[in-house]
Structure 1
Amino acid sequence: MKLKFYIFLFLLTSTVFSQQKQVETSVDTTKNKIGAEFKLTLKTVVSSKSKVVFPKLKNIGPLEVIQSYPIDTVKKDGNYELIKKYGLTQFDSGKYTIPSIKILIDKKPYLSDSIKVEVANVKVDTLQQKMYDIKTISNADEGIGNWWKYVLALVIILGIGAFVYWFVKKRQQKKIEEEVYKTPIEKATSLLNNLEQKELVQKGEVKEYYSELTDIARNYIEEAIHIPAMESTTSELIAAIKAASTKKKMTLTPETVENLERVLRQADLVKFAKSKPLDFEITEDRNKIQKVILTLDSAIPTEVPEEIEDQLLNEAQRQKQIQIQLRKKRNARIGYAIATVVFLLTATTTYFVVTKGFTYVKDNLIGHPSKELLEGEWVKSAYGNPAVIIETPKVLKRMDTEKVLPKETMALIKEMQLFVYGSMIDNFYVTVSTTKFKQPTDIDLSKALEGSLKVIEAQGGQNIIVKQEDFQTNEGIQGVKGYGTMSVLNPVTKTSTKAYYELLLFKQDQGLQQIMILHEEGDTYANEITTRILNSVELQRASN
Structure 2
Amino acid sequence: MAAFLGLSLRVTAQQLSVQASTDTSHIRLGEPVKMQVEIKVPAALKGYQLSLAILPDSFEHFEVVDRAKLDTLAPTAEYAGIFRQTTTITSFDSGRWVIPPIKYELIRPDQTVDSAFTEPLTIDVNTVQVDTTKAFKPIKSVRGVAWNFMDYIWYFVIGAAAMLIIGFLVWWFFIRRKKAPAVVVPPAPTETPYQVAIRELHTLEKDKPWHQDVKAYYTTLTDVLRNYFEQQFKIAALEQTSAELLQNIKPVTILNQQRDKLQAILTVADLAKFAKLQPAPEDHEDCLQKAIAIVEWTKPKPPATADADKKNGEK
- Tell me which interval the TM-score lies in, with the shorter structure as reference length: 0.3 to 0.5
Larger RCO: 1 or 2 (CA < 8 Å, sep 6+): 2
Q: TM-score, normalised by structure 1?
A: 0.21
Q: Give the number of the structure whose residues are more often strand, by fraction.
A: 1
The structure with the largest helix share of the pair is 1
With the length of structure 2 as denominator, give the TM-score of the two structures. Answer: 0.35
Higher Cα Rg, which structure: 1
